[in-house]
Amino acid sequence: MPVPVRDNGDPGPEKRLLIFVHGFCSDSKTWDPLIRLLRADSRIAGQFEIDSFDYKTGLAALPILNRLPTIAEIAERFDGWLWTRFYANSSRVNRYVDITLVGHSMGGLIIQKLLTRMLEASRGSEFQYIRQAIFFATPHLGSMTMEGLRGFLGTMVNNPQEEMLRGLNQQVAELHHRMEELVLRATRREDGRYPLPCTSYWGMEDNIVPEISARGFFPVVRPLPGDHKSVHCPGKDAFADFVDALEHPHGHGAIFEIEQFRYSAKVKPLAPGTKRQVSHGRATRVVETDNEALVVREVTFGRNNRCKNDFELKYRTRNFGFIEPVVIPQIEMRPDHRSRYEETGVEVNYLAPPVAGKTYALNMKVLRGFEAAHRDYHQHFTNQCYFRRVRFELDLTAYLQAGWHVVDRPKLYYHPDDNDDHRLCEMRDWSTPDPSLGALEAGKWQWELEHIHHGVLDIKWDLAQ
């Protein structure tokens, strides 16, 4: 898994963390059948390390000096346990790429309490490590079945967990509304609000948590065969659906799920002082250049992308060069974007409709884009995307064939922190490049990075005759 190296040069993490949280009157053993299936599946075993969180629960309260903890208290302990598990040491270096949280029944409420607790404390910097949350038969609106029996027991013993599961419980309603406000309806990644992919499953034979309660406010809700005790132990077909959700989260309406973003540049030298006449809009001018490039920016949307906003496919060159664009499939520039291009010829911007599974490519001929002292590529990853894979290709074979040689081998640098300040970009440390994919044809380099959701990237090189 080509996760970027750390800024200090250490390799990035290799695995992702999958955490299960059991429900009311249960324990972590309830996940054993599902975990056995997952560990036997090479797709999951190769990507995830699996663990479960346990806590005290029961229908009747424990003796008076050893009461059952509340959901808020369990979530607080879960908070500490999770991050101790996630970080490698006291310096808070992450040992995993990210975290997927899965809860059954009341376990889903504990996960939601954890998530809202973090955001209410403005902990978006840690929240970014949570990839998604998945809920099995979680009573977002409470459980109506056996209410009479549980209420009768509640007159004899105090059980704060059971009280939270009662139908139309005020605390559960407030928790679910906070989840809706801070996560489900979040529009930007911020310290106090964060759009997170969530999937809620309900059991088609569940007589404890009905479909309407399992749905709650969640936009992605899927049925599974089984009752309340078996819905989280799916059969073959349902297991395949769950595995697909692990590999391809169902997305969030505010975040683009990008399966692959590809950048390719094939650069060739021209004789010094070469002049080309170009036209953009009504303007015609002459560009003097010593290089010409074929540049491609290509995006493939994830199969479960839910964001409906138009995705920007854009590119800008400098030093008053020129871009001649072709988009496949064909789409038109917005009038304000077109007028900007027609005025200068150095910037293009297309808005691609983010159809799940579809690919759009912005193909360009670029003049004067990679001249001496500017042989590089610079990109800020938008804060509104999750990139499953980013791929970069650089082809300089035409230079080698023309008698040039590489004096500074192409290197790719990725930095996860991005303040969108170009002055800070110029001050960054360039000592820890990410490795390319290995030995390729002379003059060609390729890099792949995975699981990118923000940051800034540069590719630099230099040549001499």
Backbone angles phi, psi at 227, to 5 degrees: -95, -170
User: How many contiguous H segments (helices) and E segments (strands) does the chain have?
Assistant: 13, 17
> Over its length of 465 residues, how does the chain's per-residue pLDDT go in tens digits?
578 988 788 889 999 999 999 999 899 999 999 999 999 999 999 999 999 999 998 865 555 556 789 999 999 999 999 999 999 887 789 999 999 999 999 999 999 999 999 999 999 999 999 999 999 999 988 776 544 444 434 444 455 555 555 545 788 889 999 999 999 999 999 999 999 999 999 999 999 999 999 999 999 999 999 999 999 988 877 899 999 999 999 999 999 999 999 999 999 999 999 999 999 999 999 999 999 999 999 999 999 999 999 999 999 998 899 999 999 999 999 999 999 999 999 999 999 999 999 999 999 999 999 999 899 999 999 889 999 999 999 999 999 999 999 999 999 999 887 766 666 566 566 778 999 987 678 999 999 999 999 899 999 999 998
The 3-state DSSP class for residue 153 equals helix
Using CA atoms, how far residue 343 sits from 322, 327, 333, 348, 368, in Å, is 11, 20, 14, 11, 18
Domains of the chain: residue spans and CATH: 16-247 (3.40.50.1820), 256-464 (2.60.40)
- Contact indicator for 129, 94 with CB cutoff of 8 Å: yes
Q: Please tell me the number of Cα atoms within 13 Å of 271 on its side-chain side.
A: 3
Q: What are phi and psi of 245, to 5 degrees?
A: -65, -35
Alpha helices in 157-296 (DSSP H): 160-164, 170-179, 211-215, 236-247
Rounded to 5 degrees, what angle do the CA atoms 148, 164, 107 make?
Answer: 115
Alpha helices for 251-391 (secondary structure H): 335-344
Amino acid at 402: A
